[in-house]
């Protein structure tokens, strides 16, 4: 999510102006259309969401990998923004399916909260259809994608959940930027409530200089998770650059290796 601070900080202002669901989505999601060829070593896949939209994805499965990440990106950009991270995770022996939500990149449709949840399920189901057991699938998400990943893990069995720069609720992020107006965000993307029903290993990481989703919200989300769980603070990292830190990718790989068996 490299769209600078257009992302979550603008949500409540938009909600207060429009007051309807479809218009609210306009202030939550910031898709980019341009996607080039998949990076070397990755293949291009097309998925079908349960309600119809055709979704575009990149897939990499290193030889000998024992775990595959279902990667839900943030609310800005598309899968091409994080191509380097895709390759970095693959270099650490992890399979990755990075898909674009409806309306992002080459994917059809228009994004909404319920829609992106269905898109994540489509990505997960595509991997299961390829013969990958649930015991080797990890639900992985960045920022708003972390909320999508947590929701996916409440709907589909998985080996673990990994989130980066993720928040408790969208309303909590809005409160940081807009104070009392945050009530207008409603109950959208409520990861805090969903964590109570998760019983799989949980990993959370957060940059300690995140000005969009403050570090405290990531720490609060982590506190709600059940054991076993791991938290990684990324020194000097903000919201957009946290996944640039090799130590974070190493931490994700180590956590997955400890909790996913081939």
Give per-residue pLDDT as tens, 209-260: 999 999 999 999 999 999 999 999 999 999 999 999 999 999 999 999 999 9
Q: Which residue segment(s) compose the domain that 215 sits in? A: 8-259
Total residue length of the chain: 262
- Tell me the backbone φ, ψ of residue 59, rounded to 5 degrees: -135, 135
Tell me: the pLDDT tens digits for 84-114? 999 999 999 999 999 999 999 999 999 999 9
| CATH classification of the domain holding 195 | 3.40.50.1820
Whether residue 30 is predicted with pLDDT greater than 90 in this model: the reply is yes
Query: What are the tens digits of pLDDT across the range 237-246?
Result: 999 999 999 9
Tell me what the mean pLDDT of segment 106-128 comes to: 97
* Residue bearing the bigger pLDDT, 26 or 113: 113
Residue 1 lies in a domain: no
pLDDT greater than 80 at residue 48? yes
Does the pLDDT at position 71 exceed 80?
Answer: yes
What is the predicted pLDDT for the residue at 182? 66
Rounded average pLDDT over 39-67: 97
14 pLDDT more than 60? no
> Does residue 19 carry a pLDDT above 60?
no
DSSP per position, 167-219: -S-HHHHHHHHHGGGGGGGTTTT-HHHHGGG--S-EEEEEETT-SSS-HHHHH
- For residue 103, being part of any structural domain is answered with yes
Say what percent of the chain tops pLDDT 90: 81
| Number of structural domains the chain divides into | 1
Question: Tokens 């020194």 — which residue?
Answer: 235
pLDDT-derived band of residue 177, with 50, 70 and 90 as boundaries? confident
Beta pairing class for 54-60 and 43-48:
antiparallel
Lowest-confidence range among 25-29, 71-75, 149-153, 236-240? 25-29
Residue pair 112/20 in contact (Cβ under 8 Å)? The answer is no
Position 262 scores a pLDDT of: 66
User: Do the domain assignments include residue 3?
Assistant: no
Task: Check whether 196 has a pLDDT greater than 60.
Answer: yes
Q: What is the mean pLDDT of the chain?
A: 91
> Is 2 a domain residue?
no
User: Is residue 76 a part of any domain in this protein?
Assistant: yes
Average pLDDT over residues 197-207: 96
Average pLDDT over residues 187-210: 95
User: Does the reported pTM lie above 0.85?
Assistant: yes
Q: Is the pLDDT of residue 77 over 50?
A: yes
CB 60 within 8 A of CB 42: yes
Torsion angle of C-alpha atoms 209, 250, 32, 52, degrees rounded to 10:
-130
Three-state secondary-structure class, residue 31? strand
């Amino acid at each position: 999510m490299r769209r600078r601070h257009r992302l979550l900080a603008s949500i409540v202002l938009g909600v207060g102006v429009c007051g309807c669901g479809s218009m609210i989505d306009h202030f939550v999601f910031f898709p980019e259309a341009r996607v080039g060829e998949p990076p070397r070593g990755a293949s291009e896949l097309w998925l079908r969401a349960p309600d119809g939209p055709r979704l575009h994805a990149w897939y990499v499965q290193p030889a000998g990998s024992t775990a595959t990440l279902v990667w839900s990106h943030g609310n800005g950009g598309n899968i091409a923004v994080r191509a380097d991270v895709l390759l970095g995770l693959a270099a650490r022996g992890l399979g990755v399916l990075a898909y674009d939500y409806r309306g992002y990149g080459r994917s059809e449709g228009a994004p909404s909260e319920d829609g992106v949840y269905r898109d994540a399920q489509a990505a997960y189901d595509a991997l299961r259809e390829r013969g990958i057991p649930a015991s080797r699938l990890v639900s992985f998400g960045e920022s708003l994608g972390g909320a999508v990943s947590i929701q996916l893990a409440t709907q589909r069995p998985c080996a673990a959940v990994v989130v980066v720069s993720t928040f408790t609720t969208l309303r909590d992020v809005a409160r940081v930027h807009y104070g009392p107006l945050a009530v207008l965000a409603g109950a959208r993307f409520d990861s805090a409530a969903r964590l109570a029903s998760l019983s799989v290993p949980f990993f959370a990481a957060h940059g300690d200089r995140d000005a969009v989703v403050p570090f405290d919200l990531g720490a609060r989300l982590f506190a709600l998770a059940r054991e076993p769980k791991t938290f990684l603070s990324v020194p000097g990292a903000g919201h957009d650059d946290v996944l640039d830190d090799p130590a974070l990718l190493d931490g994700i790989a180590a956590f997955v290796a400890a909790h996913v068996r081939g």
